[in-house]
């Protein structure tokens, strides 16, 4: 008797939880701004930026400040390209919000 009650409670909890968890498509924009190629280019640029940051951090750990400065220049150029991509896809206001967030990430 106790086992069937506890199984029922667990089953009802799982059903309730599954109904409460929204599906990803429920909140996803059916028609996101920009075209697929533009969004893909932005993703590639963001990945490249992350690789540059990792390489710069590696150079700093190795003690090569000259190489790290060169990576800072590359990072700055990459951030400029990302801002341009965002401006093209999303417009000026959205770009400003992301710029503020990116600016806080690096202490160039």
Give the model confidence (pLDDT) of 57-105 as tens digits. 999 999 999 999 999 999 999 999 999 999 988 887 654 555 555 555 5
pLDDT surpassing 70 at residue 37 = yes
Q: Please state whether the predicted TM-score (pTM) of the whole model is above 0.85.
A: no
Residue 53 lies inside a defined structural domain of this protein: yes
Residue 80 lies inside a defined structural domain of this protein: yes
Q: In this structure, are residues 88 and 34 in contact, taking their beta carbons and an 8 Å threshold?
A: yes
Q: 5 Cβ partners below 8 Å, 6+ apart? A: none
Tell the burial category of 86 from Cβ atoms under 10 Å away from its Cβ (0-12, 13-18, 19+). Answer: buried
Mean pLDDT of 38-62: 94
Q: In this structure, are residues 82 and 53 in contact, taking their beta carbons and an 8 Å threshold?
A: no
Domain that holds residue 88: 34-108
Q: Which two tokens stand for residue 5?
A: 């009650």
- Greater confidence (42 vs 93) lies with 42
Residue 47 lies inside a defined structural domain of this protein: yes
Distance CA 82, CA 53 (A): 14
Residue 9 lies inside a defined structural domain of this protein: no
Number of residues written out for the chain = 108
Q: Count structural domains, the chain.
A: 1
């Amino acid at each position: 008797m106790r086992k069937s009650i506890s199984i029922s409670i667990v089953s009802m909890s799982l059903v309730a939880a599954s109904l409460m968890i929204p599906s990803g498509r429920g909140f996803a924009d059916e028609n996101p701004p920009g075209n697929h190629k533009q969004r893909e280019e932005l993703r590639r640029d963001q990945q490249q930026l992350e690789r540059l940051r990792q390489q710069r951090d590696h150079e700093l750990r190795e003690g090569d400040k000259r190489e790290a400065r060169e990576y800072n220049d590359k990072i700055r150029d990459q951030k400029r390209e990302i801002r341009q991509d965002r401006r093209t896809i999303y417009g000026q206001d959205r770009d400003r919000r992301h710029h503020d967030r990116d600016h806080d990430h690096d202490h160039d």
